[in-house]
Amino acid sequence: MKRLKILIVFAICSLMAMAQTIGVDMGEESRILRSPNENVFLMFNIANGKPYYRVAYKHTRVIHDSFLGLELAKSKYASKGKEETDLMDGFKLIDSKTSTFDETWKPVWGETEEIRNHYNELAVTLKQEKTNREMIIRFRVYDDGVGFRYEFPQQKDLNYFVIKEEHTQFKMTGDHKAWWLPGDYDTQEQETQESRLSEIRGKFHDAVNWGNSSVATFSETGVQTALQMKSDDGLYINIHEAACINYPTMHLNLDDKNMVFESWLTPDATGMKGYMQTPCQTPWRTILVSDDARDMLSSNLILNLNEPCKIEDTSWIHPTKYVGVWWEMIVGKSSWSYTDEYPSVKLGETDYSKAKPNGRHGATTANVKKYIDFAAENGIDQVLVEGWNIGWEDWIGHSKDYVFDFVTPYPDFDIAYLNKYAHEKGVKLMMHHETSSSTLNYERHLEKAFNLMNKYGYDAVKTGYVGDIIPRGEYHFSQPMNNHYMHVVKEAAKHHIMVNAHEAVRPTGLCRTYPNMVGNESARGTEYEAFGGSKPDHTVILPFTRLQGGPMDYTPGILETQLNTWSDNPNFVHTTLVGQLALYVTMYSPLQMVADLPENYKKYNDAFQFIKDVPCDWDRTIYLEAEPADYITVARRDKKTNDWYIGGKCDENGHKSVLKLDFLDENYSYDCTIYQDAKNAHYEKNPKAYKITHKKVKKGDVLKLTMAPGGGFAVSLEARWNGEERCEH
Amino acid sequence: MKRLKILIVFAICSLMAMAQTIGVDMGEESRILRSPNENVFLMFNIANGKPYYRVAYKHTRVIHDSFLGLELAKSKYASKGKEETDLMDGFKLIDSKTSTFDETWKPVWGETEEIRNHYNELAVTLKQEKTNREMIIRFRVYDDGVGFRYEFPQQKDLNYFVIKEEHTQFKMTGDHKAWWLPGDYDTQEQETQESRLSEIRGKFHDAVNWGNSSVATFSETGVQTALQMKSDDGLYINIHEAACINYPTMHLNLDDKNMVFESWLTPDATGMKGYMQTPCQTPWRTILVSDDARDMLSSNLILNLNEPCKIEDTSWIHPTKYVGVWWEMIVGKSSWSYTDEYPSVKLGETDYSKAKPNGRHGATTANVKKYIDFAAENGIDQVLVEGWNIGWEDWIGHSKDYVFDFVTPYPDFDIAYLNKYAHEKGVKLMMHHETSSSTLNYERHLEKAFNLMNKYGYDAVKTGYVGDIIPRGEYHFSQPMNNHYMHVVKEAAKHHIMVNAHEAVRPTGLCRTYPNMVGNESARGTEYEAFGGSKPDHTVILPFTRLQGGPMDYTPGILETQLNTWSDNPNFVHTTLVGQLALYVTMYSPLQMVADLPENYKKYNDAFQFIKDVPCDWDRTIYLEAEPADYITVARRDKKTNDWYIGGKCDENGHKSVLKLDFLDENYSYDCTIYQDAKNAHYEKNPKAYKITHKKVKKGDVLKLTMAPGGGFAVSLEARWNGEERCEH
């Protein structure tokens, strides 16, 4: 009995100690939850019927009291004949359950061979007595952050409802530094801005990508997720979402007086935000937190909050390196279109056999053969061909409905011959489906388009969503469009087709569930280097932001960074040549483009060796150094061998790295090849100055490497067995 | 030389005579056009750069000077970077061409075996010098009216444009009597209103069908087409449209001070009205005119303005009589849904095998067999089955996206067995695809749904579009939705499937081009008799209005007009029993339902004989009497025999007909069976009082028949060869 009392006293003291450091509200409805290692702490409570939560990390507050709830539309679809009540207040806690989960799973592809999913869970059931409705808020606390979502069980008085707005708050503890993109319903291709939260409003207008084919901002303090922040007390905080399915994409709108972010969903054409049918739930709202920036990059919280793989046979899904008839069009040297004769075309009516070719068409049989040969010679798996199909003459800017049929090649693209030719050389063609955002048209042709791919042996498609959506009035990131992207991924899986969607919604870890979603663009890709450039720190912020939800088809590998050396394009790539090599390691993706032209690689054949060698599937990953928008250094082990690769990338200020190779296997020695910026290298003034050195290294050795402004380094470490020679007879 | 002068003087005098009667504006840009028989007269001219036209019939003005033009959206898709100029004024006539056309064509099915398409044409090419754009207005003048449309040739400065509004005027010559429906973007299921034009505004609100599942009115003087009018000088005038393809449906908005109707198109979700790519054209705007109401009904002007048949092999298209598991649900005795257990269902998740049947499900194997047996016994071709597929538990009122899959039967509907059973008896099942207006979902499942139909031998589908459209924000009659309906018809044709679309857009003669479009609802059908009733004159106005564009699946044949005799439904059908028989002749359709229950037909077996006998395909049709909303009497000859059928239908006032049978063939005598209202019959007080008489008649005989209030008559004339007996050895 005495022992029990001591225990109780101890428990209370412990609780009070916590209460002091991060502030626990006591009371009947207060619930607390800690992460497995106790670093992350969450409190849930209800104040005057309104649910709220609070988060701390170690002894520091991360999220101040933040309310949770949803505003419902007074829609005729909601609850017939009566005024709709919001799911914002009037709640009582009627049940709460805690549990622990610990499981290790193997992704089909990824940065590591295994992923541990270890969290403590708290599920609170709230009842709104006035409406007789119940809602569950489920919290999962990991060692590197928190995820929570709203769940709506099927119940007598809640079967259908329409969301006017979700009001999930994230109350910041100060005027943090943030790396943000302007919130936009249609594009994610802005430059990342670095500023204090209080400076967002002033910088907003200039941050908008006004030149994009589709722009829809909504608030001068509205930003996108994943939003990376850093507090003055040294905490890295990242807000995003996981498993966004049958729901609009979330933005964050900042109350910049009180530093409270609130969810701001993407509306549909009618301004409504979500049509819900119980049982259902929102996506997970995620908060990563650590005092070490590297934890932001190694976190698997978002993948873990997604459902396990739903594709039974995944044997046909494979990491892929590819070249493409693409960069020459982006730069402006060749064209997607076949002819310049027609001011507009109508598929099925326009007779291309009578059209005069413009002489600049990229996707010709001869040109594609050149790329196939190049891929075969260099062990590259696939060749993307854009502009192969009819309709490119007027594909953009006209809100044209029937813009492509996805099955009819231009007269100068011999689809049967080229696929046969490629297959004979061990190479595959990669399909391209630009939809011009006419999603209805794409869906009408989807089955035939996939059948054509199956017929000719394509197993991967790059899709595109340039321009305003048709059905007109819809936005790229609304619930109906998010459902469209998922529809395509699911239908593709039935055809054993991998999907790499460009301009589609930013990912939220759905590739765990549908690993045929091998890539997305959903951010400012390398193409912008040909449109005026991206800032040198662009690729050292993307892994903190855009890549949280899944891999990006960033299309690195532009070794001829000065475009005017081979084209009329006056722009240059804002990295050094070596910086481009580094991206194959620092920007994880199972799909890696080798984006430059074959003739440009021939000019830098020794540096190109790294691109040939570097794999795109890994079994171990160690982030060695990281600071948002400054530098990232990461080591990864090839899934198929014991070879390691290290990539380092930095911003315009350069960076010096001291890398202790203590992660290597002591049973091996390593043939180390180092691709480095030369001493006077500079992304603008001297981008192609590099040196390549070879040496032997072993576990515990130290590499001291210097990255030039806008540069980086790339290291390959080929493993050689140290032990006794094994008998081969 | 003198002769020429005389001719010129004569020509001028003739022109001036015309100018006096209907008023021809002289001038450089004035053009006139007369119908082949010279009854219909059209003038085109330009006033201060604005095109206008005028129409007369015989010596009476029909349409006063009415302007023509289109207002373009200041859309970013229109002409990039410059302010868009409307296609309303600034025009000069730069070319005009006249021609004559005379051709006879055979419809796949129809009221007559052949249709003569005979018109004079005037095409004026207008140039808007400010924009360097050309537009053609093409007029076709028939003996019974006028059609005209705008054409936009492909040209340097007009490739894409967005229509904000079409401003086609129809200036009436007086305050005509009109039979109108309130203009509505979503429904056509109102009661027809009879009033002066000036009275529309006052009657508008009460005329709206507020109880419909989807309502979207736009103006208190906005009305639908086909709009039937009658002028005080005895002219019948009808305004509608023909060949509405890739364009929104037109309404008419009345300036009731000046009696000017102006086109008012159905917007899309963004409020825009038409996305156009040249070369393209608007639908035809049609004006029927005659001093004989029967000409309104016999006119083929709208069919003639449509393109010839685009389906090469039409052998699989056939007129069809059908029964259906339908009326029992409409009346409320059985249900579409299988269970009452679930407040909502999710296809693919809800397990129907575990659901408790509600005991009222109509589409059970046993019940469908009963209908198949009945059809087989009575020579009826097909059996429609509604409620056969999962999803009906929550199909309406929730804006539910994935509402049906169109392929999964309820557990108690044995699709394989029932089709086999039916086919063995020479009967086919008819498919039902209610989309719940979730058109995107329907398109996603269309191919699989049609494949299922092909697999089991269905060759006709009744589709339905109840409720608000998904994609949300769209209207039933917008350009994207009109394109959807056409998409379904075309895809169905590839599968040799006939389509009968309910709640879809009102037809505009497209069944000439796509004769697998065998029916539409697109108006207030018989079902409303179970929802409270339609006025007795309803079926004597529909042929003047709704039927102008194509046949209606009106679902006649309710012989047990008093629903409470066999159900809990307190309503009654607002015709006599004989009136229901008459509809098979007066309401032309190649698809005729035999809508009542088998057990009800057994109660009136002698009257049912007419329904068994009456065909639904004809080679001759003669409208004997007609007055809008008062009475219609029509004689039709069976396409397969020499038998004639006569139907007469009237409003609540009854009607006496004297029918001279001078259209019969003198080489035949006829076994005449007359189905008549009994003396004291009345649609409400004594609806089922009828008498059936038999006699022999021949060409030239006279039938004197009396229709009861809300009644009618039906006559079958079986042809017997009069001539010498033919040797059969």
Q: By CA distance, what is B488's nearest residue in A?
A: A444
B214 pLDDT band (50/70/90 cuts)? Answer: confident
The reply to whether residue A269 touches residue B444, judged by beta carbons under 8 angstroms, is: no
Q: Which of B396, B442, B472, B494 to mutate to test the interface with A (most CBs of A within 10 A)?
A: B472
Neighboring chain A residues of B347 at a CB cutoff of 8 Å: none
The closest of B240, B243, B241 to B310, measured between CA atoms, is B243
Q: How far apart are the CA of A157 and the nearest CA of chain B, in angstroms?
A: 9
Q: By CA distance, what is B440's nearest residue in A?
A: A440
Interface confidence (ipTM) of the complex: 0.93
A113 pLDDT band (50/70/90 cuts)? Answer: very high
Tokens encoding A388: 């192969």
Neighboring chain B residues of A160 at a CB cutoff of 8 Å: 344, 394, 398-400
Q: Which residues contact B366 (CB under 8 A, 6 or more apart)?
A: none
Residue type, A500: N
pLDDT at residue A515 above 60?
yes
Q: Which residues contact B482 (CB under 8 A, 6 or more apart)?
A: B244, B245, B246, B247, B248, B249, B505
Q: Which of B394, B399, B471 sits opposite A269 (nearest CB)?
A: B471
Mean pLDDT (whole number) for B42-48: 97
Q: CA B87 to CA B77: how far, in whole Å?
A: 16
Look at residue A729 in the predicted model and tell me its pLDDT.
46
Q: CA A361 to CA A364: how far, in whole Å?
A: 6
The reply to whether residue B444 touches residue A487, judged by beta carbons under 8 angstroms, is: yes
Look at residue A728 in the predicted model and tell me its pLDDT.
47
Q: Give me the CATH code for the B533-585+596-728 domain, please.
A: 3.20.20.70
Interface of B with A in 135-174 (CB under 8 A): 154, 156, 159-160, 162
Number of H helices, E strands in chain A: 12, 36
A25 pLDDT band (50/70/90 cuts)? Answer: low
Mean pLDDT (whole number) for A404-429: 98
A588 pLDDT band (50/70/90 cuts)? Answer: very high
Q: By CA distance, what is B267's nearest residue in A?
A: A472
Q: Which of A275, A440, A471 sits opposite B401 (nearest CB)?
A: A275
Q: Which of B394, B400, B472 sits opposite A270 (nearest CB)?
A: B472
Domain ranges of chain B: 7-305, 309-523, 533-585+596-728
Neighboring chain A residues of B154 at a CB cutoff of 8 Å: 343-344
Burial profile B574-606: b = 16 or more Cβ within 10 angstroms, e = fewer:
bbbbbbbbbbbbbbbbbbbbbbbbbebbeebee
Q: Which of B79, B277, B405, B466 to mutate to test the interface with A (most CBs of A within 10 A)?
A: B277
Q: How many CB atoms lie within 10 A of CB B525?
A: 23
pLDDT at residue B634 above 90?
yes
Cα distance between the two ends of chain B: 73
pLDDT at residue A13 above 50?
no
Q: CA B445 to CA A545: how far, in whole Å?
A: 37
B28 pLDDT band (50/70/90 cuts)? Answer: confident
Look at residue A553 in the predicted model and tell me its pLDDT.
98
Q: Which of B156, B343, B399 sits opposite A156 (nearest CB)?
A: B343
Q: Which of A75, A159, A162 sits opposite B343 (nearest CB)?
A: A159
Neighboring chain B residues of A405 at a CB cutoff of 8 Å: none
The reply to whether residue B346 touches residue A277, judged by beta carbons under 8 angstroms, is: yes
Residue type, A37: N
Q: How far apart are the CA of A310 and the nearest CA of chain B, in angstroms?
A: 15
Q: Give me the CATH code for the A309-523 domain, please.
A: 3.20.20.70
Answer yes or no: are the C-beta atoms of A629 and A712 closer than 8 Å.
no
Backbone angles phi and psi of A393, in degrees to 5: -65, -30
Give per-residue pLDDT as tens, B148-205: 999 999 999 999 999 999 999 999 999 999 999 999 999 999 999 999 999 999 999 9
Give per-residue pLDDT as tens, B566-611: 999 999 999 999 999 999 999 999 999 999 999 999 999 999 999 9
Q: By CA distance, what is A480's nearest residue in B?
A: B471
Look at residue A143 in the predicted model and tell me its pLDDT.
98
The reply to whether residue A472 touches residue B270, judged by beta carbons under 8 angstroms, is: yes
Backbone angles phi and psi of B640, in degrees to 5: -95, -25
pLDDT at residue B639 above 70?
yes
Q: Is B5 on the interface with A (CB under 8 A)?
A: no
B221 pLDDT band (50/70/90 cuts)? Answer: very high
Question: Strand pairing of B236-242 and B227-230?
Answer: antiparallel
Q: CA A477 to CA A188: how far, in whole Å?
A: 10
Q: Which of A13-22, A80-89, A320-329 has the highest mean pLDDT?
A: A320-329
Neighboring chain A residues of B162 at a CB cutoff of 8 Å: 399
Look at residue B442 in the predicted model and tell me its pLDDT.
98
- Kindly give the residue spans of alpha helices, DSSP state H, lying in B118-190: none
Task: Specify the DSSP element, H or E, that contains A592.
Answer: strand A591-593
Neighboring chain A residues of B351 at a CB cutoff of 8 Å: none
Answer yes or no: are the C-beta atoms of A113 and A125 closer than 8 Å.
no
Look at residue A724 in the predicted model and tell me its pLDDT.
60
Neighboring chain A residues of B277 at a CB cutoff of 8 Å: 344, 346, 398, 400
Residue that is written with structure tokens 């305004």 in the block: B239
**Catalytic position from the list B84, B165, B393, B527:** B527
The reply to whether residue A440 touches residue B440, judged by beta carbons under 8 angstroms, is: yes
Least confident of A6-20, A187-201, A366-380: A6-20
The reply to whether residue B399 touches residue A487, judged by beta carbons under 8 angstroms, is: no
Q: How far is CA A658 from CA A623, A648, B112, in A?
A: 13, 11, 92
Answer yes or no: are the C-beta atoms of B321 and B327 closer than 8 Å.
no
Q: By CA distance, what is A401's nearest residue in B?
A: B275
The reply to whether residue B398 touches residue A159, judged by beta carbons under 8 angstroms, is: yes
Could you list the beta-strand ranges (E) of A386-516.
428-434, 460-464, 498-502
Strand partners, A660: A702
Q: Known catalytic residues of A?
A: 527
Burial profile A212-246: b = 16 or more Cβ within 10 angstroms, e = fewer:
bbbbbbebbbbbbbbbbbbbeeebbbbbbbbbbbb
Look at residue B74 in the predicted model and tell me its pLDDT.
80
Q: Which residues contact B328 (CB under 8 A, 6 or more apart)?
A: B334, B362, B567, B597
Number of H helices, E strands in chain B: 13, 36
Q: Which of A268, A278, A344 sits opposite B277 (nearest CB)?
A: A344
Task: Specify the DSSP element, H or E, that contains B202.
Answer: helix B200-207
Give per-residue pLDDT as tens, B73-100: 986 655 555 668 999 999 999 999 999 9
Interface of A with B in 376-395 (CB under 8 A): 394
pLDDT at residue A157 above 80?
yes
The reply to whether residue A473 touches residue B399, judged by beta carbons under 8 angstroms, is: no
Give per-residue pLDDT as tens, A178-187: 999 999 999 9
Residue that is written with structure tokens 């190694």 in the block: A298
Q: CA A480 to CA A275: how far, in whole Å?
A: 9
Mean pLDDT (whole number) for B112-130: 98
Percent of chain B with pLDDT over 70: 94
Look at residue B334 in the predicted model and tell me its pLDDT.
98
Interface of B with A in 472-491 (CB under 8 A): 472-474, 480, 483, 487
pLDDT at residue A136 above 50?
yes
Q: CA A498 to CA B516: how far, in whole Å?
A: 39
Interchain CB contacts (distance < 8 Å): A and B: 102
Neighboring chain B residues of A444 at a CB cutoff of 8 Å: 443, 487
Q: Is B278 on the interface with A (CB under 8 A)?
A: yes
Q: Which residues contact B572 (CB under 8 A, 6 or more apart)?
A: B529, B533, B561, B562, B563, B564, B684, B687
A214 pLDDT band (50/70/90 cuts)? Answer: confident
Neighboring chain A residues of B268 at a CB cutoff of 8 Å: 472-473
Q: How far apart are the CA of A190 and the nearest CA of chain B, in angstroms?
A: 21
pLDDT at residue B16 above 80?
no
Question: Helix B605-613 vs helix B577-586: angle between axes, to the nearest 10 degrees?
Answer: 0
Give per-residue pLDDT as tens, B232-254: 999 999 999 999 999 999 999 99
Could you list the beta-strand ranges (E) of B278-342.
280-281, 284-290, 320-325
Neighboring chain A residues of B447 at a CB cutoff of 8 Å: 447
Task: Specify the DSSP element, H or E, that contains B366.
Answer: helix B365-377
User: Which fold would CATH assign to domain A7-305?
Assistant: Beta-galactosidase; Chain A, domain 5 (2.70.98)
pTM, entire model? 0.95
Same fold, A7-305 and A533-585+596-728: no
Q: Is B23 on the interface with A (CB under 8 A)?
A: no
B1 pLDDT band (50/70/90 cuts)? Answer: very low
Q: CA B37: distance to chain centroid? A: 28
Answer yes or no: are the C-beta atoms of A509 and A550 closer than 8 Å.
yes
Mean pLDDT (whole number) for A124-144: 97
Look at residue B396 in the predicted model and tell me its pLDDT.
94
Strand partners, B674: B693, B715
Q: CA B253 to CA A651: how far, in whole Å?
A: 63
Q: CA B146 to CA B139: how far, in whole Å?
A: 7
pLDDT at residue A692 above 70?
yes
The reply to whether residue B159 touches residue A474, judged by beta carbons under 8 angstroms, is: no
